[in-house]
Amino acid sequence: MMNLKVPLGYKSNLNLLQTQYWIKEIKDFFQQSLAKNLNLVRVSAPMFVKQSTGINDYLSGIEKPVSFEMEEENGINSLVEIVHSLAKWKRYALEKYNIPKYSGIYTDMNAIRSFEVLDNTHSVYVDQWDWEKVIDESDVNEEYLKETVRNIFNTFKELEEHLASRIYDYKRLLPDNIFFITAQQLEYLYPELTPEKREREIAKDKKAVFLMKIGDTLESGIKHGDRSPDYDDWDLNGDILIWNPILDDVLELSSMGIRVSPSKLVSQLEKSNTMDRVNLEYHSKLINNELPQTIGGGIGQSRICMLFLQKAHIGEVQSSIWPEEMVNRCEDNNIILL
């Protein structure tokens, strides 16, 4: 399946080679600023993990990872999965590397999500900065989450100012501050709309939004969105949403949150009927208090490039595979895919 929106009269100001130059400029600048603002050091990370560890991100629980078998010395094959994200691996890595409190790591995460419905902002190839930071148990609260979100938003602002100083007549997109709202408050505002349309309305109004508390059931009996039960605390998580004028729509740049405590992990596993995970390696270590308390998230690399270069399609800033019909429609409408 695919969906494609073609902005009326669209034509990028950058050719292919110029686009490649600015992709590197954006990625280099942003990751350096992010590392400085959040006190992070870059590390290498796996592209695939053994299924038996429970380290892979199960997303909403229904998405099937791309997998293959690896032969072990005992002749029994292990099932290996290409990561969906590194949400759980990072917490494990912080413990392994003995990262001190209020320091953290970030890495380039590359994933394949073969189940994605392809459109202007979704690809089967996912590239993001996955980051994770050790915090104190006293920081497990909404204010610490908001403070971290503001630091990340300020990093976006620094990137925007950097591009404005380098690109003639650059059009800034971001407001001065990011707006905070919970999924329940958003439902109160727009009870007649779907969760997706609520996000569009609030982003159009506020331009930059952190939508909090995603994963649990709302008063209406529905969820704003599905979240894996075994990394984010559903009361202390959220998405950074930015209004994207080129597509006249909301664009999610980041999903993040304070991570589950052992008791919150068990509670969310029970709510989501996934208690079968408790004996997996990752979950056992967490329940036994062998992993640090952390905050972390993922920030889309191609989505940032797409937004700040004002491209109409994520394929203009990343090399991926697209249906032939989409490729042809893009060519006919000045959308030049890499």
DSSP 82-104: E-S--HHHHHHHHHHTTPPTT-E
As given in the structure block, the two tokens for residue 331 are: 């060519």
Other C-beta atoms lying within 10 Å of the C-beta of residue 74: 7
Per-domain residue ranges of the chain: 16-332
CB 195 within 8 A of CB 228: no
pLDDT on residue 308: 96
Active-site position among 127, 235, 239, 316: 239
pLDDT on residue 248: 94
End-to-end Cα distance, the chain: 21
Query: Rounded to an integer, what distance in angstroms lies between the CA atom of residue 246 and that of residue 49?
Result: 38
CB 305 within 8 A of CB 253: no
Contacts of 269 by beta carbon, 8 Å cutoff, 6+ apart: 229, 230, 275, 277, 278, 283
CB 201 within 8 A of CB 193: yes
Active-site position among 33, 228, 254, 255: 255
pLDDT on residue 77: 80
| Residue 57 falls in the annotated catalytic set | yes
Active-site position among 123, 128, 228, 301: 128
Q: Within its chain, how far is the Cα of 82 from the centroid?
A: 17
| Residue 85 falls in the annotated catalytic set | no
pLDDT on residue 174: 97
As given in the structure block, the two tokens for residue 92 are: 């494990």
DSSP state of 196: H
Q: Within its chain, how far is the Cα of 268 from the centroid?
A: 20
pLDDT on residue 53: 74
In the predicted model, residues of the chain with pLDDT beneath 50 are: none
Active-site position among 25, 57, 130, 235: 57
pTM: 0.90
CATH among 2.30.30.100, 3.20.20.100, 3.30.930.10, 3.40.50.720 for 16-332: 3.30.930.10
CB 129 within 8 A of CB 108: yes
pLDDT in tens, 106-150: 999 888 887 778 889 998 888 999 999 999 999 999 999 999 999
| Residue 255 falls in the annotated catalytic set | yes
Active-site position among 51, 150, 252, 320: 252
| Residue 239 falls in the annotated catalytic set | yes
Active-site position among 113, 227, 259, 303: 113
Residues in the chain: 338
pLDDT in tens, 144-197: 999 999 999 999 999 999 999 998 889 999 999 999 999 999 999 999 999 999
pLDDT on residue 1: 56
The residue written with tokens 């790591």 in the block is 105
